[in-house]
Amino acid sequence: MNNEFLDEKEQTIDELRRQYNELAELAGSLAHEIKNPLSVIHMNTDLLCEELEESPWPGQRRAVAKVDMIRQQCNRLENLLRDFLRFATMRDLDMTPGSLNDNIEAVLLLYKAQADRCGIHLKTYLDSSLPNMKLHSDSLQAALLNLVKNAMEAMPDGGELLVRTCTVPGGIAMEMIDTGSGMDEVTAMRMFEPFYSTKHGGSGLGLPTARKIIEAHGGRIAVQSEVGRGTKFLIEFPTPIRLSA
């Protein structure tokens, strides 16, 4: 009886996985179909705006403002579709042994100039003895980029972003701690929900995609935050025995 129950459960899981894959494929196809005409609308809006600005005429300012509003919304929709496609089309990643530290340093280097301009001090304590893990560098860096971007946006008046790595039982861990504005309990609980965002014009897919990438690496992510005191992300990844040896 127990075996029959387990077989039915496995069949249910397989069916749900198949339905999810079909839905993800359909959603990705639909997003692509929307993206193509949207690009045409955006391009022709840019051309129309150029023509309207060529010579003064009555009502020109109002017309240009309306066209510019259409252009801004096209930009927003294109960004939303880009984030959605990244979220919906995540598949099994082709992972190879690599260094978490190296990927962290590559991401922080990309933000170094911006951090200097914004008065944000980037501080790292990366364990030099950290074992390699199985990773997909491009997607992992995309997840880390999103976390760093969110941390920096939470510190508009400057602050400190600390990134630390260490070994933990069965794997490796990374902490990212900022001294920014922090979040209330509701936001911290809902921040990984697709399309939930407290930012004006945000897609609400950046952090859910980051979590999806981390989970695709066999990892997990947790957050602690307090309004006015900052936010800490804790990420843990498993380390295969043959890599950690």
Q: Check whether residue 203 and residue 230 sit in a common domain.
A: yes
| pLDDT (tens digit per residue) in 159-192 | 999 999 999 988 999 999 999 888 888 877 887 7
Q: Check whether residue 18 and residue 103 sit in a common domain.
A: no
User: What is the sign of the dihedral through the CA atoms of 82, 209, 171 and 121?
Assistant: positive
- Domain with residue 73: its CATH number is 1.10.287
Q: Check whether residue 119 and residue 47 sit in a common domain.
A: no
Quick one: pLDDT at residue 121? 95
Exposure b/e, 177-211, CB count within 10 A at least 16 = b: bbbbbbbeeebbeebeebebbeeeebbbbbbbbbb
CA distance 155 to 200: 16
**How many folded domains does the chain comprise?**
2
Q: Check whether residue 161 and residue 52 sit in a common domain.
A: no
Q: Check whether residue 77 and residue 156 sit in a common domain.
A: no
Q: Check whether residue 222 and residue 137 sit in a common domain.
A: yes
Q: Mark the ranges of the chain whose per-residue pLDDT is less than 50.
A: 1, 244-245
Which residue segment(s) compose the domain that 33 sits in?
A: 2-88
Those residues with Cβ within 8 angstroms of residue 99's Cβ, 6 or more apart along the chain or in another chain: 130, 132
Exposure b/e, 111-143, CB count within 10 A at least 16 = b: beeebeeeebebeeebeeebbbbbbbeebbbbb
> Domain boundary at 56, 71, 88, which?
88
> Domain boundary at 63, 88, 113, which?
88
For residues 199 and 148, the answer to whether their CB atoms sit within 8 Å is no
Q: Check whether residue 101 and residue 146 sit in a common domain.
A: yes
In the numeric block, the tokens 């600005």 are attached to 53
> Domain boundary at 54, 88, 122, which?
88
CA distance 105 to 125: 11
Q: Check whether residue 133 and residue 81 sit in a common domain.
A: no
- Domain with residue 237: its CATH number is 3.30.565.10
pTM of the model: 0.68
Q: Check whether residue 108 and residue 213 sit in a common domain.
A: yes
Question: Residue 63 carries which DSSP code?
Answer: H
Q: Check whether residue 115 and residue 30 sit in a common domain.
A: no
Q: Check whether residue 50 and residue 109 sit in a common domain.
A: no
Those residues with Cβ within 8 angstroms of residue 149's Cβ, 6 or more apart along the chain or in another chain: 111, 206
Q: Check whether residue 135 and residue 237 sit in a common domain.
A: yes
